[in-house]
Amino acid sequence: MKLLVIGSGGREHAIAWKLAQSGKVTQVYVAPGNGGTAHEPKLQNLAISDHLSLADFAQREGIRFTVVGPEAPLAAGIVDYFQARKLAIFGPKQSAAQLESSKDFAKQFMKRHGIPTAEYQSFTDAEAAHRYVDARGAPIVIKADGLAAGKGVVVAQSLDEAHQAIDWMLKDQSFGEAGARVVIEAFLEGEEASFIAMVDGEHVLALASSQDHKRLGDGDTGPNTGGMGAYSPAPVVTPAIHAFVMREVMNRAVRGMAAEGRPYLGFLYAGLMIDANKSVRVLEFNCRLGDPETQPLMARLKSDLVDLIEAALAGKLNQIEAQWDRRHAVGVVLAARGYPHQPLTGDVIGGLKNKGAAACLGQSSDQDHFTAPERLVFQGGTEIRAGQLFSSGGRVLCAVGMGDSIKLAQQQAYESIEQIQLEGSQYRKDIAWRARRNNGSGI
């Protein structure tokens, strides 16, 4: 079968790499793809991005199904368009994707369906927002309502910082229409975790737990980014917390979407805050796999991803289970100089083996289960020009290490990172520090 993956990041490289492991698959097209997908066995980049051309291609080539990686095409209604043309596609329709494309919609939805989240208010008027912040005090969280590539959240530690964020979004229009409304919510203390599942409209199949590192600098300092690294499993997600999230968050969300006439199909990601008392609240919903969480998750997934997606498309996720590598996976992002504000691109990347392919396709112990090698590199902001690999975005690549302990996985990832040459590049030196502190257990 032939498949199509939409997107160009490290997440899409990992998804396409995993799909290509299936013995059922002859070709995976990636639109538009990156320098890594250009050299991966069974993958081929596709230089088109508009809905019409993508759907025409899928129809002409007999694509079995399409997987949407990033949030922007979902918010723009690509799933609606494909479904109207009777083309199989895995992702939520535009109305359901509002869970991510509008934080105000998501907060109202959570309130309607009793999903635990922080107190909040939404504003379009800057002066009203300033008065609210003065009344609430700091720390407090200011969020752009719309899509902002993971950079539209300011955790203000002081009133001055909060007021600056309000003006930055509402007055300076730094995020354009995405920041025309802001959500201001109570600051929550605790540890974050990423809870990602597959949804078929009714049933929920949880993937392995993971944890992202959103801040640029070591020790969770500096500005928010799209994510500087991730690991799986996340020790903070205990069996009790896992059961609670499935019952009180994921199942409530899926039932609520169906009840409101927005049946949910696709990956659903709940960003959680877990406090010292093990109380769980939802920070946000995303309507796709996380980046960089996908990279360690795909490295750990032993099941055939094609089988999982086909079960979801058939409404039969309750009839299948996902099998996971018992090893830990740590992914470390290498970012361009100037990221996240003004990343510089066009620099030569050196030190990658296999012409930049992630690795071998994995060792198959039987027809349906795969074991990833100890080291993988998934590319994001890269492109090939005249046979050379260049940086083309802020988050350039993600090195994933696998190991029997979180420490060993961490070592493998950092040994890979240190072999890669990119002028002025930056990366965090402490990815997975919380798992090391918690001895690395988790679901």
For 150-176, how does the pLDDT look when each residue is reduced to its tens digit (9 = 90+)?
778 999 999 999 999 999 999 988 889
Percent of the chain whose pLDDT exceeds 90: 90
Choose the weakest-confidence range: 64-73, 87-96, 218-227.
218-227
Alpha carbons within 13 angstroms on the beta-carbon side of residue 1 total: 16
pLDDT at 174: 84
Per-residue pLDDT of 9-53, as tens digits, reads 999 999 999 999 999 999 999 999 999 999 999 999 999 999 999
pLDDT over threshold 90, residue 192: yes
**Within its chain, how far is the Cα of 193 from the centroid?**
12
- Domains of the chain by residue range: 2-93, 119-186
Backbone angle region of 119, left / alpha / beta, with phi > 0 → left and psi within -120 to 50 → alpha:
beta
Q: Which CATH number fits domain 119-186: 3.30.1490.20, 3.30.70.890, 1.10.10.10, 2.170.190.11?
A: 3.30.1490.20
Contacts of 277 (CB under 8 A, 6+ apart): none
Q: Which helix (H) or strand (E) holds 416?
A: helix 406-419
Dist CA 255 CA 247 (whole Å): 11
pLDDT at 370: 78
Alpha-carbon distance of 188 to 19, in angstroms, equals 37
- What CA–CA distance (Å, rounded) separates 46 from 125? 43
CA separation for the pair 267, 287 (Å, rounded): 6
Rounded to the nearest 10 degrees, the angle between the axes of helix 10-20 and helix 305-313 is 100
Q: Residue 364: its pLDDT value, please?
A: 45
- Kindly compute the dihedral angle of the four CA atoms of residues 220, 221, 222, 223, in this order, to the nearest 10 degrees: 30
Q: According to the model, what pLDDT value does residue 417 have?
A: 96
Q: pLDDT per residue over 119-149, tens digit each?
A: 999 999 999 999 999 999 999 999 999 998 7
Contact 170, 129 (CB under 8 A): yes
Q: Is CATH 3.40.50.2000 correct for 2-93?
A: no
The mean per-residue pLDDT over the stretch 404-432 comes to: 96
- How, if at all, do strands 140-144 and 182-186 pair? antiparallel
Q: Which helix (H) or strand (E) holds 30?
A: strand 27-32
- Residues 290, 426: Cα–Cα separation, whole Å: 21
